[in-house]
Amino acid sequence: MQAILALEDGRVFRGRGYGAPGERLGEVVFNTSISGYQEILTDPSYAGQIVVLTYPHIGNYGTNPLDSESVRPFAEGLVIRELSELASNWRSVEDISAYLAHYGLPAISDIDTRALVRHLRTYGAMRAVLSTVDGDEAMLIEKARAAPSMVGLDLASRVSVSAPYEWSECTSKTLGGGKTDGAPARFHVVAYDYGIKQNILRRLVDVGCRVTVVPAKTSASDALALKPDGIFLSNGPGDPEPLQYAVKTVREMMGRVPIFGICLGHQIVGLALGGKTYKLKFGHHGGNHPVQQTRTGKVEITAHNHNFAIDPDSLRQSEIELTHINLNDNTLEGLRHRSMPLFSVQYHPEASPGPHDSHYHFRDFRKMMEEWKR
């Protein structure tokens, strides 16, 4: 198949089409991870986005059911330099082109992804259309310009579950192990699903949590009626500011139960604390972002996937400690309330894909719940 990626500013890239024939609209962002393309595609935080992978050779280890972060891919499309149609790995079940076709997802390869990424870094993430069925460049550019903006878009409620469920699987399950890692389930955590990744749930189980996942619009009273030892606020797609239902819920729970937020959950915490958020020029997406702990000076290499950030100047620092800072652009990466059991991080400590420097946050959450129960 022939394929076209047309950006809203008129830039057009032609290449080869893979996966399913079709056409998808979305905001184009780039991810700098070297591996983990299946985890990236199935991360619900990519809803509404077309993902460009900066690593040039994609698909050589295939796909398998255990590497998915959700029930299906949520990205709108995939853009790569070179696609490997040969998968060589003992865990592989299906090559990536067949995997994409199975879920109706189009992809484009054989384009200059370096030029595309440089363009996005210069002009910012922008709307685009990826098509394998329409060769009219002018028409595709107009379609891209007509696509909805990510600003003001509540995507979390679209990707969230419709009913609560229990989760008991730990990280060893993905490697063929059982359902426990030796840590007894001492704590009950209610996890809000704004687009939650399964490896976050596994990490919570690893540190001794029994997890109940609830829909994004679950009220504070309904969540607290489950008698949780802690509340977890997940990652998710879109703009945090339209999620006023989530902000209201978090405000009602603050100080009544320990709270831990990741990514979109972190932004919701910031809004609940009276802060403001803003859209980054091209976002943070990848597994190699340096983040510094403000107390110790220690630097963690971290995994990221977000387009919005909290304005640190909008927070009352007499009440809120800024715990982590991004060394690439000085954006706020973590905060902790000085008196209430509440902390959050902008990046992804579950590391799927990504480095493992930040797993300690799940142990810190367990410690917070232990101290709250005393």
Catalytic positions are 263, 348, 350
Are 294 and 327 in contact by the 8 Å Cβ rule? The answer is no
254/273 Cα distance (integer angstroms): 9
Q: List C-alpha distances in Å: 150 to 207, 263, 277, 319.
A: 35, 16, 14, 31
Backbone torsions φ then ψ of 120, nearest 5 degrees: -70, -35
Other CB atoms within 10 Å distance of the CB of residue 86: 8
Question: Cis link prior to 228 (omega < 30° from 0)?
Answer: no
* Full strand arrangement of the beta sheet holding 332-337: 165-167, 209-215, 187-193, 230-233, 259-262, 342-345, 332-337, 320-326, 277-293, 299-310
Q: Are strands 259-262 and 230-233 parallel, antiparallel or unpaired?
A: parallel
Select from 44, 55, 52 the least CA-distant residue to 28. Answer: 52
Residues in the chain: 374
Q: What are 58's strand-pairing partners?
A: 83
Question: Residue 352 forms beta bridges with which residues?
Answer: none
In this structure, are residues 210 and 178 in contact, taking their beta carbons and an 8 Å threshold? Answer: no
What is the rounded distance in angstroms from the CA atom of residue 46 to the CA atom of residue 37? Answer: 12
The candidate with the shortest Cα–Cα distance to 189, out of 172, 203, 174, is 203
Q: In the block, which residue shows the tokens 């995939």?
A: 78
| CB half-sphere exposure, 322, CA atoms < 13 A | 17
